[in-house]
Amino acid sequence: MPLRLAVMLSGNGSTLQNLIDHVEDGALDARIVCVVSSRADAYGLERARKHGIPAIAVPRKDHSDAASFNAAIWRAVREHEAQAVALAGFMSLLQIPEDFVNRIVNVHPALIPAFSGHGMYGHHVHEAVLAYGAKISGATVHFVNEQYDNGPIILQESVPVLEDDTPDTLAERVMAKERELYPKALQLLAEDRLHTEGRCVRIRS
Ligand code: GAR
């Protein structure tokens, strides 16, 4: 049975599109059962609808506190009987129910723990990498805990930072790596091959 996957996002949804493409190609043995957005105007919702995936807006600004926002988010996920969650540019901090510990995965456009944490998303990350003068960056897929970009690392690969890079050219190289690693990590989850010991994720052969 394919893994029943919910995707959470807040914006454009190119990460969602990549997952949809991998599912449709048969490279990812999952079914995307719903897409939940923390913004009503996220283009990712439109992408979901185009593929017949239930698209639900749970605007963060409609909720006065994190608890009621999280209750609404998890209600949507449970209504669609998701077994796991993929974050795809989801910009709010999640509260994690007990039964979803190590069932929520995120992709970050840098080599965690560098250039990560609160406020480090999208272009901010690539600007910070270039300003620091780092010679490599990369993509990280990790389990989500209740801190930004902090949970156990599943897959991580580097890309070079080139002398003449701009945030845009670096973002493009990192995004290509994200597109490769994220479906691969989710496929390992779908095959139940990820075993977590403390902070360390072992991949069963
Ligand atoms: C992706 O590059 C993802 O790595 C990043 O947000 C982008 C979402 O793009 N996530 C983070 O920075 C998490 N800290 P998208 O809306 O086009 O999918």
Q: Which residues line ligand 1 (CB under 6 A)?
A: 9, 11-15, 88-89, 107-109, 121-122, 125, 149, 175, 178
pLDDT digits (tens, 9 = 90+) for 50-99: 999 999 999 999 999 999 999 999 999 999 999 999 999 999 989 999 99
Q: What's the CA gap between 54 and 66, in Å, rounded?
A: 23
- Which residue's CA is the nearest one to ligand 1's atom 12? 121
In the beta sheet, which residues pair with residue 158? 138
Q: How much is the pLDDT for 188?
A: 98
pTM for this model (two decimals): 0.97
Probe residue for ligand 1, chosen from 104, 105, 121 as the CB with the greatest number of ligand atoms within 8 Å: 121
Tokens matching residue 46: 């439109």
pLDDT digits (tens, 9 = 90+) for 137-189: 999 999 999 999 999 999 999 999 999 999 999 999 999 999 999 999 999 99
pLDDT digits (tens, 9 = 90+) for 100-111: 999 999 999 999
Tokens matching residue 6: 């919910």
- Secondary element (H or E) of residue 175: helix 167-190
Q: How much is the pLDDT for 27?
A: 97
167-190 vs 123-132: helix crossing angle, rounded to 10: 120
Q: How much is the pLDDT for 51?
A: 98
Q: What's the CA gap between 44 and 36, in Å, rounded?
A: 9
- Which residue's CA is the nearest one to ligand 1's atom 7? 89
- Which residue's CA is the nearest one to ligand 1's atom 6? 89
Angle at 148 between CA 145 and CA 152, to 5 degrees: 45
The answer to whether the peptide bond before residue 54 is cis (omega within 30 degrees of 0) is: no
SS3 86: strand
State how far the alpha carbon of 98 is from the alpha carbons of 1, 70, 116, in Å. Answer: 23, 13, 25
Probe residue for ligand 1, chosen from 7, 10, 14, 15 as the CB with the greatest number of ligand atoms within 8 Å: 15
The closest alpha carbon to 185, from 144, 145, 141, belongs to: 141
Q: What's the CA gap between 92 and 97, in Å, rounded?
A: 15
Measure 15 CA to ligand 1 centroid, in angstroms.
7
Q: What's the CA gap between 79 and 91, in Å, rounded?
A: 22
pLDDT digits (tens, 9 = 90+) for 184-196: 999 999 999 999 9
